[in-house]
Amino acid sequence: MAQAFGRAGNPSAGPAARRYPRKRVTAFRHEALLYEGTDEFLAGGVPFIREAIDAREPVMVAVGADKIGRLRATLPDGAAVAYADMSELGRNPGRIIPAWHEFLAAHGGAGPVRGIGEPIWAGRSADELVECQLHEALLNVAFADTEDFHLLCPYDVAALDDGVVHEARCSHPVVVARDAAHASHQFRGVEDPLAPFAAPLPRPPGAAETVAFERDTLDELRRLVADRGGQAGLGQAKVQDLVLAVNELATNSVRHGGGHGILRMWREDEALRFEVRDSGHLDDPLVGRRRRRSDDIGGWGVWIAHQVADLVQVRSGPNGTVVRLRMRCA
């Protein structure tokens, strides 16, 4: 649901008060901040953070290291702000929502919580960009009923393609630009949260190695994955992580995807890619993005994949489900 914006508070209270009114219109406030260059980022982000500090609201900022440095230099010494380098946290966008869940679990419940998260920047690969855009849409599902969470997502319109900025308007109910906030008429809403998972992935290359598997061949599958990881130069720890992730996905296929599946493997852009496909159907838009507890039964496959892989892509439709992993060789 889009937020309705009008005058908020005293018009003479300054731009920060006008741009970030304290009145909460919906449970989860998800806003895109459109800016040009670092100075405009600071002009938009610093007032947002200062308001949190003044109100003693917990705030976490997940942006690039250069922006973190500028914020630290601008804000008062010792300001109660939690920082996360998005180039690490968001390297795999599927890990970002669990990080916000963890921050809310530690600091939420007693009042408003704020965050700034910038998962999209110039230089992201095409598949990373698609997954970042999916992440932004899924935020509206993950926190739809979360009280007092205000998340600001910056987009550098000077560095990003127009199509990326348009997509930001589609995934955020509110857009903030040049000291003004307004409801986004392009916002798609969350009526069909599984819709993004229906978009097909690019076809694997014709030279991809293809192996069918079932319950009785999982041991053979694990040995094959370990062998291919070793041949690609992955260290022992990475090979073990890779085998664990692929095995969990293949086991999911056996248990929930018709008892069998297909594994495809290939190397592309100095990375290994593994794709597990089966005839099952996805019914949880947040699969793999909820932090697991040690006593949880089931649901570990995609979660583990997100923890060990550099990128995870999940798609599901009438013809089945596919999970694709990318593991950098370097």
User: What are the domain boundaries of the chain?
Assistant: 15-184, 196-328
Distance in angstroms (rounded) separating the CA atoms of residues 159 and 162: 9
Q: Position of tokens 């509110």?
A: 174
> What CA–CA distances, in Å, run from 170 to 164, 190, 201, 282?
10, 11, 21, 23
Band the pLDDT of 296: cuts 50, 70, 90.
Answer: low
Q: Which CATH superfamily is domain 196-328 in?
A: Histidine kinase-like ATPase, C-terminal domain (3.30.565.10)
Cα 305 to the chain's mean position, in Å? 14
Give the SS3 label for residue 318: coil
Indicate the pairing of strand 209-214 with strand 149-156: unpaired
Cα 142 to the chain's mean position, in Å? 11
Give the SS3 label for residue 242: helix
Amino acid 3: pLDDT: 28
The CATH number of the domain covering residues in 15-184? 3.40.50.300
Looking at per-residue pLDDT, the higher value among 10 and 328 belongs to 328
Give the pLDDT confidence of 194-241 residue by residue, as tens digits.
888 888 899 999 999 999 999 999 999 999 999 999 999 999 999 999
Provide DSSP, 3-18: PP----S-TTS-HHHH
Distance in angstroms (rounded) separating the CA atoms of residues 272 and 77: 44
> 29 pairs with which residues across the strands?
150
The whole model's pTM is what? 0.88
Distance in angstroms (rounded) separating the CA atoms of residues 286 and 121: 23
Band the pLDDT of 192: cuts 50, 70, 90.
Answer: confident
Give the pLDDT confidence of 8-60 residue by residue, as tens digits.
333 233 333 333 333 333 479 999 999 999 999 999 999 999 999 999 999 99
Distance in angstroms (rounded) separating the CA atoms of residues 82 and 2: 28
279 in Cβ contact with 262 (< 8 Å) = no
Distance in angstroms (rounded) separating the CA atoms of residues 240 and 319: 31
Amino acid 293: pLDDT: 72
